[in-house]
Amino acid sequence: MNTTELERVAREIRLRDLQAVFEAGAGHIGGEMSVIDILTALYFRVLNVWPDQPKHPDRDRFVLSKGHTACALYVTLAKRGFIPEEEISTFLQPHSRLNGHPNCNKVPGVETNTGPLGHGLPVAIGMAKAAKLSGAKYHTYVVTGDGEMQEGSNWEAIMAAAQFKLDNLTLVIDHNRFQQGAALAETNDLAPLRPKLEAFDWEVTEINGNNMSEVVSALEYRGSRPHCIVAHTNKGHGISFMQDRVDWHHKVPSKEQYEIALAELSEAL
Amino acid sequence: MNAPINAPKLYDCRDAFATTLERLAAENETIVAVCNDSVGSSKLGGFKAKFGERLVNVGIAEQNMVGVAAGLANGGRLPFVCAAAPFLTGRSLEQIKADISYSNANVKLVGISSGMAYGELGPTHHSIEDFAWTRVLPNLPVIAPCDRIETAAAVEWAAAYNGPCFLRLSRVGVPDLLPEGHKFELGKANLLRQGSDVTLIANGTLTHRILKAAEILAERGINARVLNLATVRPIDEDAIIAAAKETGAIVTAEEHSIFGGLGSAVAEVVVDNAPVPMKRIGVPGVYAPTGSAEFLLDEFGMAPSAIADAAQSLIRRK
């Protein structure tokens, strides 16, 4: 899929995500809007995956470590054919397999359970290491939030990735500069991320994570070391009144706000 | 029924673990060992020499260690995670919950030097909470073998079992109790001694002590049943209910806090099905003083004579 087509798909995913969160009355819409371009590029351009064989041994692995943005992943998986598109309307409903954080035993395409922060990168490192041990050619991608990088387990994992020489691993940090209750800068400011990753012998690319052509080329890059993409994004990207506002971490739009957001996201479709 | 074999020689169950793992690894190339700078204490030196590439040493980083193991399993490897039990379970409990148990990852967690094995090193190094922490997690069998034979059998079982489990091993020597060739069966107690007056239940390093306690009770004319209950979860409800109904009193002994461990697990079954007097012997909710494992077990009422005394006084409450 080319960049223009990917941008259109990303818009559609944003729209469906907005509807799902509005209808469910819950969700993590800010972080979903910031990460959707990355998810779109992965599932519609970069990942070698087969929706009819979700456990195919040669599939590329993707881990959404920022599991609270599960709704964006569900919409993406549905659009890519892993689950029925109409199932999105069950998001957060009783007994739906689409709960607030993704479950690998229930939802095809989900590789490991996430939710508590700081879990995805260690698991992704295990996946990449397994490929090294078995000679498998798949690539492993993981997306973390920037606030999530405050978890110590991530830094344990960052050390291991370099030690294991995992050139088959790509970490994308969704650097939207906000965590649940505050700006990153107001809690434990990890920025700038680049020198810290480089100090651990990772290769680092910094991009505008809401610019599709930059996202695609960074994800497709292959080097000789573990690769970190610091994706500078906007929390609430695509919806004017949400952008860069900490209060949209898990706020639900009012009916009026919903109509405005719908109009804005529909504009370019 | 597996008749106990009384032999004076003591064995470190880690040797049985390491030997069995190496044998299985030679047959199954997907087996990998994952550790946290614990090659020596986990007795992985032989594994490293034979299968160096398949030893994944993450350094002193237990959270990452457990997550990496989950990823290795996702990539088709069969990881045995070997680390000191207090740090494996406590330091990475959330990883064990989310990445292993909830994800149902095919990872074998092997906690070594459990209980009071690191006696003199103090309570930070005692692993007397691990049954409580792990047995509440779905999908995660919790197993504490009583001797080298059961350890080898449990490791063999774990490699063949499609799902996660927690094996709890000590480093303190124990005698052979089960016959050579014994097969491990998940959730099944071994009846080591038939009896009708009281039932003694233990696992791990305590099983040989309750057998000795039963011998002391026999000298006093009390006929004690002895159950080795290696699997704490899923627990052998049938054996416990039969013990309660047929002997009318149950004593448990464990190298663990009395809160949330083997005794608690047995008590849950007894209360729900066949209430009888019980006595739970273990560490009574305190941090231990300095001393060796053997000293501390005696200190907390787990000398065979003390277990026998506890059983004798319990019988009076029947």
pLDDT surpassing 50 at residue B99: yes
Cβ partners under 8 Å of residue A247, min gap 6:
none
Of A112, A127, A153, the CB nearest to B64: A153
Contact B67 A126 (CB under 8 A): yes
What band does A246 get if pLDDT is binned at 50, 70 and 90? confident
Q: Which pLDDT score is estimated for B1?
A: 39
Helix axes A3-24 and A212-220, enclosed angle (nearest 10): 110
- Report CB contact under 8 Å: A134, B66: no
Q: How close does chain A come to B209, measured CA to CA in Å? A: 40
E strands, B15-157, are 31-35, 55-57, 78-84, 108-112, 142-143
Per-residue pLDDT tens over the stretch A175-205: 999 898 899 999 999 999 999 999 999 999 9
What residues of chain B lie within 8 A of the CB of A126, using their CB? 67-75, 79
Burial of A181 (0-12, 13-18, 19+ CB in 10 A): exposed
Task: Map chain A to HEC letters.
Answer: CCHHHHHHHHHHHHHHHHHHHHHHCCCCHHHHHHHHHHHHHHHHHHCCCCCCCCCCCCCCEEEECCHHHHHHHHHHHHHCCCCCHHHHHHCCCCCCCCCCCCCCCCCCCCCCCCCCCCCHHHHHHHHHHHHHHHCCCCCEEEEEECHHHHCHHHHHHHHHHHHCCCCCEEEEEEECCECCCCEHHHHCCCCCHHHHHHHCCCEEEEEECCCHHHHHHHHHCCCCCCEEEEEECCCCCCCCCCCCCHHHCCCCCCHHHHHHHHHHHHHCC
Measured distance CA(B318)–CA(B315) in Å, rounded: 5
> ipTM surpassing 0.85, yes or no?
yes
- Average pLDDT on B208-230 reads 98
Calculate what percentage of chain A has a pLDDT beyond 70.
Answer: 100
Q: Please tell me the distance from the alpha carbon of residue B166 to that of residue A64, in angstroms, as a whole number.
A: 27
Q: Angle of helix A70-79 relative to helix A29-41, nearest 10 degrees?
A: 40
Q: Does the pLDDT value for residue B178 go beyond 70? A: yes
Is B54 in Cβ contact with A113 (below 8 Å)? no
Encode pLDDT of A58-67 as tens digits.
999 999 999 9
Segment B218-240 mean pLDDT: 98
Chain A touched by B52 (CB under 8 Å): no
B76 closest CB neighbour out of A111, A130, A140: A130
The distance of Cα B250 from the centroid of its chain, to the nearest Å, equals: 19
